[in-house]
Amino acid sequence: MVEAGPAPRPALCGAELEVPLVTGGQRPYVNLDYAASTPAMVAVARAVERFLPYYSSVHRGAGFKSQVATAAYEGARERLLQFFGARDGDVAIFTRNTTDAVNLLAAALPAGSSVVTFASEHHADLLPWRREGLKVTCLPVPGSPEEAVAALAGALAETAPADLFAVTGASNVTGELWPLEQLVRVAHGFGTRVLVDAAQIAPHLPLDIAALGADYLAASGHKMYAPFGAGILIGLPDWLGRLEPFLRGGGAVDFVTTDSVRWSELPARQEAGSPNVIGAVAMAVAADELQRYGMDRVWDEESAMAGALRAGLAAIPGVSVYAMWPRATERTGVISFNLEGWQHSLVAAVLSAEYGIGVRHGCFCAHPLMLHLLSVPDSGAEEIRARLAQGDRSAVPGAVRASIGLGTSRSDVAYFLGAVAELARRGPQIHYELDPSSGDHVPALLPEWARARAAELVSVASPGY
């Protein structure tokens, strides 16, 4: 009997996409913006297409389509619990994305709860706790993983009993992995629960919530090669099931009169309204494909390319690569940098318009961390706020972020490094203008194809050049 070889790397929609260049001609698109949103897997798109004829409202429907849709929806929930290594008794709530999942948990916290987090977090882990009835302790950006563990221990010793500690799995700015096992151990030592924002690690490395010991985990389908509008919150059921629903409406109730309501049990209690059945199915199929390929393989392959990308950028004169922690630590394939003498929005615009490379620029929904990395003083932050109040976004500092994923090849990395090196050496080939209202740079003269494309899209904005 011939043994089957390793599963092939999952194919991605748009892998053969070619884009026009302002300098003439077109070339294959190099997507280095996986940290923001990933393209759909071909297997996911095909699964959605196969499911669409059976799409229907789920639960309580006697029709055949409704029964199939319900089975698919609840099957997706079970598959994602398994993918993330959930414990017996954990509940999985479908949400729109990680931000929605964290806000759901914040709304479910008992009144008077205290939450500890770090200033280096994504806004999804910073802002939901700033609500009436919750006490928030925001710790400074730590100087090392060891300092993060020590800072958490010190804060919990002072604020005990803190109810929840919220932390990201990996920085969406620098890619640095947080010491989750140590942080969970410290928090549990003080009786504090832990929420892990897994948005930046779920599609890149093996993750087992039971082995890790975290109490809650939040993730997004659009970062897991299933951009169909679904996310998930997995964890202990008591807070989520004890209080009234975050959203109120049909599907979350067992019985209603004009002056009373009996809320449903979990998970229905926190999934009011018609759920995103297609998004849930798509996310589960993506998880299955990742598991089939092997998360260890994903991590090993991406780590090698990320290392080459980081070393290549650091070797280019004038490039500054950012990190929270000076000592080398494990990182995902997320790298943020600046090129001396050039505004981050201009670098991103040139890479797109002249080279066909898609990157992201700005503060990446992590403003406090970016201010820290860029050494912006409090007075500088005040000036930024004042200019924003006048409608000028050009003063907002930031960086360029390149991030890799399943569709990234070594040739993509080499081409990107060559483009940055060429830009550093000779600058842009055409003139770009800064739009203060957006803070973005665009070519001064839009080519005819860009105007035609904009007209074709009608109300959709042009791609920036």
Which residues are the active-site residues?
A: 365
CA atoms within 13 A on the CB side of 85: 15
Residues whose CB is less than 8 angstroms from the CB of residue 333 and which lie 6 or more positions away in sequence, other chains included: 34, 175, 204, 302, 303, 305, 306, 309, 403, 404, 405, 408
3-state secondary structure the chain: CCCCCCCCCCCECCCCCEEECCCCCEEECEECECCCCCCCEHHHHHHHHHHHHHCCCCCCCCCHHHHHHHHHHHHHHHHHHHHCCCCCCCEEEEECCHHHHHHHHHHHCCCCCEEEEECCCCHHHHCCCCCCCCEEEEECCCCCHHHHHHHHHHHHHHHCCCCEEEEECECCCCCEECCHHHHHHHHHHCCCEEEEECCCCCCCCCCCHHHHCCCEEEEEHHHCCCCCCCEEEEECCHHHHHCCCCCCCCCCEEEECCCCEEECCCCHHHCCCCCCHHHHHHHHHHHHHHHHHCHHHHHHHHHHHHHHHHHHHHCCCCEEECCCCCCCCCECCEEEEEECCCCHHHHHHHHHHHHCEECEEECCCCHHHHHHHCCCCHHHHHHHHHHHHCCCCCCCCCEEEEECCCCCCHHHHHHHHHHHHHHHHHCCCCCEEEECCCCEEEECCCCHHHHHHHHHHCCCCCCCC
Tell me the C-alpha distance between 348 and 414, whole Å.
17
Rg (CA), the chain: 23
